[in-house]
Every structure is written in C-alpha cells, then in structure tokens.
C-alpha cells in the first residue's frame, strides 16, 4: 500500500507544481497584458486573410504571438466573399494593416493600384524560395516585391487509395494510362470524378492544368500584345477539356458546390476528385479514415509535358497607408519563423515558400518526385485580367459550345483590357 500512496502523493506534488508553473506563466502573461493595457500601449493590427479553412490555425498562432507580445493585438478578419469585401473596404479607405491573399489577379490589382507597401527590402525575403518571389514579380510585372510569399499549393487529382487498390489501379503517368484508369473505374460501375459546378470556380482547377499543359508558352504575352486570341489558341484545349469532364457523376453536376463535393468524395461518391490540395483538410474532416493520395494530371503521353500546377497560395502584404507598420511587420516576422511556418503547412496540408520547411505528409508522396524534377507550372488564370473566366467556363459546361465560350473569353478579355 505504501508504493501506490507514494505514487499518488508524488503525482499530487507534480500536478501541483505543474499547475503552479502554468498558473505563474498565465499570471505573468496576464500581468504583461495588464501592464501594457494600463500604459495604453496595446496596438491593434488588423490581419485580413481570405482562407476560411485556416482560421483555426491562425487563431492558435495569433494567441502564441500575443502571449509573447502583450502590447500588440492581432485582429484576424476572415469573411465570405473576401475579395469582394476587400475591394469594397479599399474603396471606402478602410485598408487592413496586413493583407493576405494568393498570388493571383487580385494581388496584381492591389499591387498595381498602390495599395501595398514595397517589401523588396524586407529581411524575411532572404528566407523565401527564389522561384516563388519570381512568381510574384511576373504577376505584377515589376521587379519590386509587393508582398512576401508564405505558402504554396498544388493542383492535382485527389484519389482514394483504397479504391485504387481494390480496382487494381496504379497511378497513371500518361494520357493513355489515364484513359485505361477511367475505363476500369466505369466498367466497375463506379464514378471517376464527383463534379461540383454549383460553385462556378470549381470548373477552374482542371482548366488551369489543361491551359498549363496545352496552351502555347507565350500565350498571355501574345494575347496582351494583340498577336493572338483565345479562339485561335484554345480551341483544341477546350475540346479536350470538355471530353475529360464527361467522366463526372451521372445526373445534375450543378447540384453540388465545393463543400458538398468535399463531403461526398470523402464518403465514397467517386474514386477521384478534381480539386487542389486545399480541399484535403476538409475531406479528412468529413472522413478521417479515408486514405488519400494526389497525382499530377496526365494529359500527354509525353510525361515531361505533364506539369503539376502549383502557385503562391498565401502571401503577406502590408498596407501602404498603415499606421502600425512596425507591429504588423513583427507579426509577419513571427509567421515566417520556421516552427510557425511548419505548423501552418502541417495543419493546412500545404507547401511552404520558406526555406527548410517541408511538407512530409504521406498523402503527397506521389508529388514529391515532381517537385524534385521541377516539373511545376504556375496557375494560368493568375495571368488573366479581371474577366469572369469561372462564369464563362461554368456556362460552357452547361452548353458545351466551344466556339461560343471562346468568343466570350475574347470579348470579356478585350473589355477588361480597355477599361
């Protein structure tokens, strides 16, 4: 009886000690905050970020930052239709101190309209993988860096590993192999892809790969210079795209949106799913037991021409008019630290733009050799001006009229270019 009693007493002592330590730490942090508050030194920094799936991750990181910096209050803003809300706020002169968007047309718009501060000489740029910085420069058409890349994504084909094993399938690396995979799945009475065209943007992940692999390498420069048109360059591309997308579920493919598709694929509605890696956390929430993998679209029988589309998914920019630049920069410094960047990519299943921070999840094992080869292309739609490509492509999926879709692309592109 003596040993259990001693152990119990020891545990009480340990727990009491730990509680005391925890209490002392908490008391210390509260004391620091109270002291800062009493001295009137708490500075509010608004952090506007567009990724709803990352809210919880940021909450924990912000709490960690504020504990170490009691004089700074980071206010995270994440709203539906973030791009529209941000545009409206900027029009009213209500620019957030830190703006986190992707490396896309919205970033180009912010950068070229003087909304963002020049971060070319920000010391944290030295820790960023060079190609991601070049991507931002290509998007803005400027040598200046109007933001610092933080995380990258990948846009491949998600697949259910158990389904592949049960059907005797291996990862296809050429178009011919992909055709056989599709035939095998359909012959087994299963659905290759669950499509979610209720949300217009969900037509774009696949379109981006078709454009990256099949359009001419100088298309956007030539289109901007008036040397070509979508009608002249994209006819075969759209014909192949529409044929590929006929491998979706039977019935109404416009009934489900993105969230519906994540949940249904997680529960086995299809063998594969045409979404980027950003969907993986939501799929795993719906079914933690599903075994997932991701592979690049094999659109050509020449493997060297099958690119993995990957771009800057998260970057941090500073408002050019912020009055709390020092405190805002301190939070960005904190996010760029390797341990915090690692927490982000681990929880968000993304890839890091920071050197020495790696994505090691087994889900991405099939992508690792592609990154090592450097067979990666940026998202083509990041280089299109503000035309509503998603809406045009959504309508294209309904009407399946290639010439009509191409005509609308050229018309809207020219209208946006002439504004």
Same domain, 60 and 182: no
> Global pTM?
0.74
- Alpha-carbon distance of 250 to 246, in angstroms, equals 9
Same domain, 142 and 203: no
Count CB atoms within 10 A of the CB of residue 85: 15
Enclosing domain of residue 202: 155-309+380-417
Confidence check: pLDDT of 277 > 50: yes
Q: What is the 3-state secondary structure (H, E, C) of 167-203?
A: CCCCCCCCHHHHHHHHHHHHHCCCCCECCCCCCHHHH
Same domain, 61 and 122: yes
Same domain, 180 and 272: yes
DSSP 331: H
Residue 367, domain member (yes or no): no
Beta strands 376-377 and 148-152, pairing class: unpaired
Residue 142, domain member (yes or no): yes
Confidence check: pLDDT of 358 > 80: yes
What is the distance between the terminal CA atoms of the chain, rounded to a whole angstrom?
86
Same domain, 196 and 264: yes
Counted domains in the chain = 2
Question: According to the model, what pLDDT value does residue 20 have?
Answer: 37
Same domain, 218 and 327: no
Same domain, 275 and 318: no
Residue 235, domain member (yes or no): yes
- Alpha-carbon distance of 250 to 413, in angstroms, equals 33
- Percent above pLDDT 70 for the chain: 90
Question: According to the model, what pLDDT value does residue 39 have?
Answer: 60
Same domain, 247 and 143: no
Residue 402, domain member (yes or no): yes
- Alpha-carbon distance of 300 to 155, in angstroms, equals 17
Overall average pLDDT of the 114-140 stretch: 94
Residue 408, domain member (yes or no): yes
Same domain, 325 and 412: no
Residue 4, domain member (yes or no): no
pLDDT digits (tens, 9 = 90+) for 129-162: 888 898 999 889 899 999 999 999 999 999 999 9
Question: According to the model, what pLDDT value does residue 18 have?
Answer: 34
Closest listed residue to residue 369, CA positions, set 322, 306, 415: 306
Tokens 């956007």 belong to which residue? 220
CATH of the domain at 54: 3.40.190.10
Residue 241, domain member (yes or no): yes
pLDDT digits (tens, 9 = 90+) for 289-347: 999 999 999 999 999 999 999 999 999 999 999 999 999 999 999 999 999 999 999 99
pLDDT digits (tens, 9 = 90+) for 201-245: 999 999 999 999 999 888 988 998 999 999 999 999 999 999 999
Confidence check: pLDDT of 13 > 80: no
List Cβ neighbours of 261 (8 Å cut-off, separation of 6 or more): 194, 195, 196, 202, 273, 275
Question: According to the model, what pLDDT value does residue 24 have?
Answer: 47
Confidence check: pLDDT of 2 > 80: no
Between helices 55-68 and 325-336, what is the axis angle to 10°?
A: 110
Same domain, 287 and 354: no
Residue 28, domain member (yes or no): no
Question: According to the model, what pLDDT value does residue 340 have?
Answer: 98
Cite the DSSP H helix spans in 254-401: 258-266, 280-286, 325-336, 338-348, 368-373, 389-399
Same domain, 186 and 304: yes
Same domain, 105 and 75: yes
- Alpha-carbon distance of 287 to 267, in angstroms, equals 7
Question: According to the model, what pLDDT value does residue 15 have?
Answer: 32
């Amino acid at each position: 009886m003596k040993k259990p009693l001693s152990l119990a007493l020891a545990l009480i002592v340990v727990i009491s000690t730990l509680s005391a330590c925890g209490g002392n730490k908490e008391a210390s942090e509260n004391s620091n905050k109270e002291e800062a508050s009493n001295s009137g030194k708490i500075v509010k920094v608004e952090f506007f970020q567009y990724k709803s799936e990352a809210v919880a991750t940021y909450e924990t990181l912000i709490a960690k930052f504020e504990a170490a910096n009691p004089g700074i209050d980071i206010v995270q803003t994440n709203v539906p239709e973030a791009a529209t809300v941000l545009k409206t706020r900027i029009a009213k002169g209500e620019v957030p101190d830190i703006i986190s968007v992707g490396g896309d047309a919205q970033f180009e718009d912010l950068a070229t309209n003087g909304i963002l501060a020049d971060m070319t000489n920000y010391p944290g740029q030295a820790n960023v993988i060079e190609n991601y910085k070049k991507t931002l420069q290509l998007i803005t058409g400027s040598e200046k860096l109007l933001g610092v890349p933080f995380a990258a994504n990948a846009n491949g084909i998600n697949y259910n590993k158990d389904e592949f094993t049960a059907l005797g399938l291996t990862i296809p690396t050429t178009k011919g192999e992909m055709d056989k995979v599709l035939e095998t799945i359909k012959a087994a009475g299963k659905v290759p892809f669950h499509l979610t065209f209720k949300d217009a943007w969900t037509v774009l992940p696949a379109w981006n790969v078709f454009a990256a692999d099949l359009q001419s390498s100088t298309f956007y420069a030539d289109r901007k210079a008036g040397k070509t048109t979508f009608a002249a360059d994209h006819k075969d591309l759209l014909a192949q795209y529409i044929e590929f997308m006929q491998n979706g579920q039977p019935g109404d493919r416009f009934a489900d949106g993105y969230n519906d598709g994540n949940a249904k694929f997680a529960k086995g509605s299809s063998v594969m799913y045409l979404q980027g890696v950003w969907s993986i956390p939501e799929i795993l929430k719906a079914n933690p037991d599903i075994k997932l993998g991701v592979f690049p679209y094999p659109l050509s029988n020449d493997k060297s021409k099958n690119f993995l589309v990957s771009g800057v998914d998260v970057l941090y920019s500073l408002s050019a008019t912020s009055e709390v630049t020092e405190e805002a920069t301190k939070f960005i410094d904190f996010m760029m630290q390797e341990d915090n960047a690692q927490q982000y990519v681990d929880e968000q299943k993304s890839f890091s733009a920071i050197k020495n921070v790696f994505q090691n999840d087994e889900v991405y094992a099939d992508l690792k050799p592609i990154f090592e080869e450097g067979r990666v292309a940026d998202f083509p739609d990041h280089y299109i001006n503000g035309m509503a490509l998603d809406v045009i492509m959504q309508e294209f999926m309904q009407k399946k009229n290639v010439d009509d879709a191409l005509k609308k692309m050229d018309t809207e592109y020219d209208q946006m270019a002439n504004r």
